[in-house]
Amino acid sequence: MANQELDPVAPPGLHLVSAFLAMEPADSLISLARACGGGSVTEKVQRFIWSYCISEASGKGYVPYVKNFLKKLIVEVESNHGDVLDELYEQYAYIMTSLKDDHLAEKNKRVCKYITFLFPDGTFDLPSCPKSRKLIVPLQCSLNMLEGDTGCSIWPSSLYLSEIILSFPEIFSNKSCFEVGSGVGLVGVCLAQAKAAKVILTDGDLSTLVNLRSNLELNQLSIETDFSENEDSNVVKCIHLPWESASESEVRGFMPEIVLGADVIYDPTCLPHLVRVLSILLSQKKSDSPTQKESCKGSIRDSEYGHDRVNDTNQGKILCANDLDRCHSNHNGIDACKEAPNTRSSEGPVAYIASVIRNIDTFNCFLALASQANLAITDITETFRPFNLLPYMQSYQRSNIRLFIVSCNT
Ligand SMILES: C[S@@+](CC[C@H](N)C(=O)[O-])C[C@H]1O[C@@H](n2cnc3c(N)ncnc32)[C@H](O)[C@@H]1O
């Protein structure tokens, strides 16, 4: 590779540029830069970085991020006794003198990350843009992971769910899709790309919703907040839907064929509410058969998981602890049962839930609540693998993510 020309539209140059635009950690960029130079950051690689990352992306890059990358790059070259390009030294010096302290102090600062999905040659065409081998999704995010009740950052499960949608667009195209806890909106953008018939994005946090709407606009999607019918698949509905206060009739009104959720299983106090919402969404057949409606509804009702019970966190914990054994057996059960996915649109809606299991007790609590609500959960991680559309993203640990399909037991 050392003697070949680096190309910004083909690996490894494309990976380096994509990682820079996605604001990957500086160490990842350095390792991609080394790969471009056959093991070291040669002058040619530095020139490539200068042309395609620093100069060309100067309007896009967040200045403190560029500064940190330049610093690590200069240290990398110097410590290997290489010559640093003058342009890189000068740019670093310029940023050092022009960067104001208040710029660095803005913890809740929004930045724009560009997530580039790279489609391997010979695979499939993106429904929204046949023959295009890449999709770039700009997303405004916060540097503070906790801002907007965690909804202003990109979480790994949404990357995974997006890869699923873009790898299997036929599952989602012409389907009415509904997402819980949409955050920055990446999954919604991918659903629109897959030509879902309807995209309904929801979140319980108002500042997250404001950011979500900006992101939909950034991606040229029109936003509709009312419930009027619109056949244009570039129109996305964006709705404030806190799981705690969502009424059964409101949730029932959506009638999606596919429900999605990425990294929404993490707060034990919210789980009963999340499961209640899922249960209502999944208990409806397209024909809205009363028999099936009752089967889910019977086991998890508003009164059962009303505010009194759920706001009592102790009671929530007791519920988890008491149900742990059952959850373990459930968990083993779902691990053992690896089915191919089935959207089952003729039988009823299904949910695709992607999750990093950070706390096994919390996850087991989710399983127990789902079981009480008569929801069937199948782990399809091993049998339903998406293409690796983010090969440059070293910070994204796919192996930590599980994908579950959830449906209402009949
Ligand atoms: C960890 S973030 C994941 C965001 C996005 N799905 C992703 O993977 O990037 C959890 C999301 O769920 C939303 N959320 C948390 N609790 C909620 C609740 N009780 N009702 C509705 N949304 C909630 C948060 O606002 C946030 O957007």
Q: What is the mean pLDDT of residues 200-223?
A: 96
Q: Is the pLDDT of residue 25 over 60?
A: yes
Q: What is the mean pLDDT of residues 217-233?
A: 74
pLDDT of residue 311: 27
Distance 133 CA to ligand 1 centre (A): 30
Q: What is the mean pLDDT of residues 358-387?
A: 96
Q: Is the pLDDT of residue 297 over 70?
A: no
Q: Tell me the sheet residues that pair with 378.
A: 405
Angle between the N-to-C axes of helices 313-336 and 360-372, in degrees from 0 to 180, rounded to the nearest 10: 90
pLDDT band for 318, please (50, 70, 90 cuts).
very low
Ligand 1 lining (C-beta closer than 6 Å):
149-151, 154-155, 157-158, 181-184, 203-205, 208, 242-244, 262-264, 270, 273
The answer to whether the beta carbons of residues 293 and 284 sit under 8 Å apart is yes
pLDDT of residue 335: 29
Nearest atom in ligand 1 to the alpha carbon of residue 148 is 25
pLDDT: is 170 or 302 the higher one?
Answer: 170
Q: Is the pLDDT of residue 346 over 60?
A: no
Beta strand 198-203 with 222-224 is: unpaired
Task: Provide the greatest CA pair distance for the chain.
Answer: 74
Q: What is the mean pLDDT of residues 55-65?
A: 76
Q: Is the pLDDT of residue 70 over 80?
A: yes
pLDDT band for 327, please (50, 70, 90 cuts).
very low
Pocket residue to mutate for ligand 1, from 215, 239, 264, most atoms within 8 A of Cβ:
264
Distance 150 CA to ligand 1 centre (A): 7
The answer to whether the beta carbons of residues 216 and 189 sit under 8 Å apart is yes
- % of the chain exceeding 70 in pLDDT: 77
What CATH architecture is 113-408?
3-Layer(aba) Sandwich (3.40)
Nearest atom in ligand 1 to the alpha carbon of residue 183 is 27
CB atoms within 10 A of CB 86: 9
| Mean pLDDT rounded to a whole number for the chain | 82
Of 50-54, 196-200, 263-267, 299-303, where does mean pLDDT reach its minimum? 299-303
pLDDT band for 63, please (50, 70, 90 cuts).
confident
- Backbone phi and psi for residue 376, each to the nearest 5 degrees, phi listed first: -95, 130
pLDDT band for 122, please (50, 70, 90 cuts).
low
Six-digit token pair at 395?
A: 């910070």
pLDDT band for 12, please (50, 70, 90 cuts).
very high
pLDDT band for 89, please (50, 70, 90 cuts).
very high
Q: Is the pLDDT of residue 168 over 50?
A: yes
pLDDT band for 277, please (50, 70, 90 cuts).
very high
The span from the CA of 54 to the CA of 57, in Å, is 6
Distance 361 CA to ligand 1 centre (A): 19
Q: Is the pLDDT of residue 103 over 70?
A: no
pLDDT: is 127 or 211 the higher one?
Answer: 211
pLDDT of residue 3: 52
Single-letter amino acid, residue 276: R
pLDDT: is 285 or 252 the higher one?
Answer: 252
Q: What is the mean pLDDT of residues 180-193?
A: 97
Of 41-45, 144-148, 211-215, where does mean pLDDT reach its minimum? 144-148
- % of the chain exceeding 90 in pLDDT: 67
Q: Is the pLDDT of residue 378 over 80?
A: yes
Say which DSSP state 198 is in.
E
The span from the CA of 337 to the CA of 104, in Å, is 50
pLDDT: is 155 or 129 the higher one?
Answer: 155
Q: What is the mean pLDDT of residues 314-326?
A: 27
Q: Is the pLDDT of residue 259 over 70?
A: yes
Angle between the N-to-C axes of helices 186-193 and 156-167, in degrees from 0 to 180, rounded to the nearest 10: 0
Pocket residue to mutate for ligand 1, from 145, 178, 205, most atoms within 8 A of Cβ:
205
Residues of the chain with CATH 3.40.50.150: 113-408
Of 189-198, 243-252, 312-321, 360-369, where does mean pLDDT reach its minimum? 312-321
